[in-house]
Amino acid sequence: MKITLLPLYSQQNTDAQGCPLGCRGECKVEQQAPNFGKNPEVPCLLSVHQVETCAQVLDGPAEIIFNTSATGDGKSLAAYLAGRFHFPKCDRYLQKKSSSEGFIYVLGNLLRTRRYGAQESRTGTMTNHLVGLVFCDGEIFSNLHFTQAIYDQLKPDINAPISDILTKATQVADTLLQGEPVRKSQVILRPQLDELLTEVSAIYQDETRLRETLTTLYQQTKSYAETYGAFRL
């Protein structure tokens, strides 16, 4: 008996105008992920099953969606296509003994980051937009809770410009924070946040001030490691 195995391919979406992401003339997937791969004969980068799954995620009535495509390409991508454009995230900076230098270093990392992906293939590009800073004595709402709340506010227009999304995200964050069972010593939202970020950016643009800040942070970190960490004798 001779068994011949033939390759199985997904059918690409040929209806670029019917993309659930609202593409009109320019492919949003290609804009955000230029290395995603493209067939020059087809205007859309997505497979039919990805488009159908994405449409159900964005506008369908079901709470649970199963992608039963025989091919495994991009099944998880289909469920997160909207997230490839705007991905809300709550970063936590936990430190028993904090310092202004450490705080500036963390903010600088967030502002300067332009790549994402695996350690050896950080080919994707992105821009971080800070919504607010909260100084409190416990953890606040989760990424999932924050994302869902923003989506509920933007559902009529999930393709809104980033300025509108930041405005909604700020309002959502303020509302959610009011319901959190934590003591908040300070909450910095826009427009006050913009003033702080301008000051931090100025430090990173000044080599002398940046060197002083990082040198002080290094000494603080070294002292902490010698007292409490791996360098302790």
Portion of the chain with pLDDT greater than 70, in percent: 76
pLDDT digits 0-9 by tens, 146-178: 988 998 888 777 678 888 999 999 999 999 999
More confident position, 125 or 68: 68
Tell me the pLDDT band of 183, cut-offs 50, 70 and 90.
very high
| Residues 6 or more apart in contact with residue 226 via CB below 8 angstroms | 232, 233
Range picked from 60-74, 103-117, 159-173 for highest mean pLDDT: 159-173
Tell me the CA end-to-end span of the chain in Å, nearest whole number: 71
Q: What's the Cα-to-Cα distance from 65 to each of 19, 75, 121, 210, rounded to whole Å? A: 18, 11, 30, 50
